[in-house]
Structure formats: C-alpha cells, structure tokens
Amino acid sequence: MYDKYFQANPITVGSRIPKHKGLLISGGAAGVTMSVQFVTGAGATLTSVLTVNNTPYILPFQVYAVNTFNGLTGFYVN
C-alpha cells in the first residue's frame, strides 16, 4: 500500500507543521542529518535526529516540527 500525495508545501524550520501525510526531503548525501519533533501518545514532544542518506527521501509519517535541516530542502506532503 502506498499513499498518494497531491500537494507539497515548504517547511518553515522551527514552527509547527500543519496536518500532513509525510515529509519529502531532498539534497541528502551520506551522513546528512535533520532534527525533528514527534508527538507522543501522552501529548508531549520527543526530539529525534534522523540521518538522510539518499535523495529524494519520503518520511511517511506526521511530525510536529522540524528543528534543523543542515543543508537539506524539505516539504510536507498531502
């Protein structure tokens, strides 16, 4: 099963991302990282550092915010 994406909107680093199906990340090379915040089941946020090794990269779940991009370009997709 694959999701269909019809819109791609730019991400503003450090601010909450509206409801979306996933993130589309480009510009990745070996070892490039990004920091994102997830919402836990209790409603708190959890920060995680993700490594993007290839491009384009689709992160197929919803995140609360993107903290850092380190040379990457990103969009939230619906």
pLDDT of residue 54: 79
Counting runs of H as helices and runs of E as strands, what totals does the chain give?
A: 0, 7
Per residue in 2-49, pLDDT tens?
Answer: 678 899 999 999 999 999 999 999 876 777 889 999 988 898 889 999
Beta bridge partners of 26: 73
Q: Which two tokens stand for residue 26?
A: 């480009």
pLDDT of residue 31: 75
Q: How many CB atoms lie within 10 A of CB 17?
A: 18
Per residue in 47-66, pLDDT tens?
Answer: 999 888 877 888 888 999 99
Contact 16, 69 (CB under 8 A): no
Beta bridge partners of 36: 48, 66
Q: What is the pTM of this model?
A: 0.83
